[in-house]
Structure 1
Amino acid sequence: MSEEIKVLKTGTTTVGIVCKDGIVMAADKRASAGEGFIADRRAKKIHKILENIYVTTAGVVSDVQLVIKLTKAELRLKEIRSRTRPTVKEATNLFASIVYQNIRKFSPILGITAFIVGGKDHEGFSLYEVGADGSVSDFKDYVTSGAYGSFIAYGILENEWNPNMTVNEGLKMAVKVINTAIKRDATVGDGIDVVVIDNKGATEMPEVKVNEILKAK
């Protein structure tokens, strides 16, 4: 149990930022096993759930993959049956239910996962965190999850976020947050993935754009 919790605490930094015209989500690309071994330098930690909903992930990889597969399948079935697009809140509650059930199964290996869910529906833009215990928190500003780098991230977010930020400003802040975590946390690194969700839809930022922002700093 203690080893699984270490993996969650030391292998990822992800962030979600609420802007006046959208949501920005970002994550590093390094996956580590234990406290020192780098298992993957191109790990995907931001996943598309629906056209309008994305999720960042932290935790035990196998559990993360299973929860995402189950959630995507259930939401797709709901969409077909009801002929309506699931809301961000519905997607978040489904994630939370699966996580809650997973950690309470009798097993010698504890399933540990944590998610940041962001998106847009008929109610507007939303940002939630699903904790490792299946709890749900609604954020109107920002949230970060994962490794020790998240503590560093909060310092930047507390100082620089404001409710009138545009997604362009949020994009630059998200890159700065993850890049700073990379510099200070050895288990975070190997690049930055960023997704911007606005009124035009969701855009997965190309690596060249992220690098331009880094060079501009």
Structure 2
Amino acid sequence: MESNQTKPGLLCNPEASQRTLYPYVTGTSVVALKYKDGILMAADMGGSYGSTLRYKSVERMKPIGKHSLLGASGEISDFQELLCYLDELSLYDNMWDDGNSLGPKEVHNYLTRVMYNRRNKFNPLWNSLVLGGVKKGQKYLGMASMIGVNFEDNHVATGFGNHLARPILRDEWHENLTFEEGVKLLEKCMRVLLYRDRSAVNKLQISKITEEGVTISQPYSLKTFWGFSAFENPTLGAEGSW
């Protein structure tokens, strides 16, 4: 019987037994959109140990090569495993030294194949991934689920963001968004998620990727309001008999 404990070796050592039988430390939603000059992506920095908000400084967005930006929700250790795979892919790509490099579409296709392959082995990576990038003036934004389901769109979200952020994006997104408008729209989505998602924390980062490269902001908090007038007058606006 195969042991579930990790054997000594490198993170990507194929001889090691590394199986996530159940997600333990997880991150919540990632929200991303296209704007006029590139891609904007937002994620908070919470890491939940079960239902406990255990970690408050988990970075879940990473640059991949020269042209791509990856964000992930779900199991943090599986995200680290994926980053190891992508490091090996980038190293192999650079070894050709042919003046070309992998674009966001190629990286996204690779990730969907990895997720689908692991799903078929009944050993999935417990993540939902968002991959955005810009290469030769072409903006690209797509997502991939833990079972390999994938698509491209002008705006994407994972986790609770699919239910709470996408309706906002459908109403307010347009293709000529400026950087400031895009950041404001993402902050609106993240504020709604903070209010409604118990796994969200008020410490987030927003990343952008353009032809010039990737920029990830320093962590910051959103202004929030937790007042509720009904506490002062619970019958205010009520109709009918009690």
User: What range describes the TM-score normalised by the shorter chain of this pair?
Assistant: 0.7 to 0.9
| Corresponding position: 1:73 with 2:85 | no
User: Separation in 2 of the partners of 1:95 and 1:82?
Assistant: 23
Contact 2:165–2:192 at 8 Å: present in 1 too?
yes
Contact 2:208–2:216 at 8 Å: present in 1 too?
yes
Number of the residue aligned with 2:136: 122
Contact 2:33–2:40 at 8 Å: present in 1 too?
yes
Number of the residue aligned with 2:10: none
- Do the aligned partners of residues 39 and 216 (structure 1) sit closer, same or farther apart at CA in structure 2, a change above 3 Å counting? closer
Aligned residue pairs: how many? 204
Structure 1: gaps spanning 5 or more residues: none
1:8-23 mapped onto 2 (5 Å cutoff): 11-23=27-39
Contact 2:63–2:70 at 8 Å: present in 1 too?
yes
User: 1:135-191 CA deviation, whole Å, 9 max, x = no partner?
Assistant: 32111x201002x34411112212211121122211221122112201111111141
2:113 to 79, 97, 100: 97
Shift in Å, 1:6: 9.8
Higher relative contact order (CA 8 A, sep 6+): 1
RMSD of equivalent CA atoms: 2.4
Contact 2:25–2:76 at 8 Å: present in 1 too?
no
Number of the residue aligned with 1:59: 74
Shift in Å, 1:105: 2.4
| Corresponding position: 1:176 with 2:188 | yes
User: Separation in 1 of the partners of 2:161 and 2:103?
Assistant: 30
Number of the residue aligned with 1:156: 168
User: 1:98-134 CA deviation, whole Å, 9 max, x = no partner?
Assistant: 1122223255xx5321100001112511101011111
Identity %: 25
Q: Mark the structure with the bigger radius of gyration.
A: 2
- Do the aligned partners of residues 124 and 185 (structure 1) sit closer, same or farther apart at CA in structure 2, a change above 3 Å counting? same
Instruction: Pick the structure with more helix per residue.
Output: 1
SS across alignment from 2:128: strand
SS across alignment from 1:202: strand
2:156 to 140, 143, 151: 143
Number of the residue aligned with 2:58: 43
Give the residue type in structure 2 aligned to 1:50. G
Give the residue type in structure 1 aligned to 2:155. Y
Contact 1:88–1:118 at 8 Å: present in 2 too?
yes
User: Separation in 2 of the partners of 1:98 and 1:123?
Assistant: 27
Give the residue type in structure 2 aligned to 1:29. M
1:22-33 mapped onto 2 (5 Å cutoff): 22-33=38-49
Structure 2: gaps spanning 5 or more residues: 1-20, 226-242
Shift in Å, 1:71: 1.6
SS across alignment from 2:90: helix
Number of the residue aligned with 1:134: 148
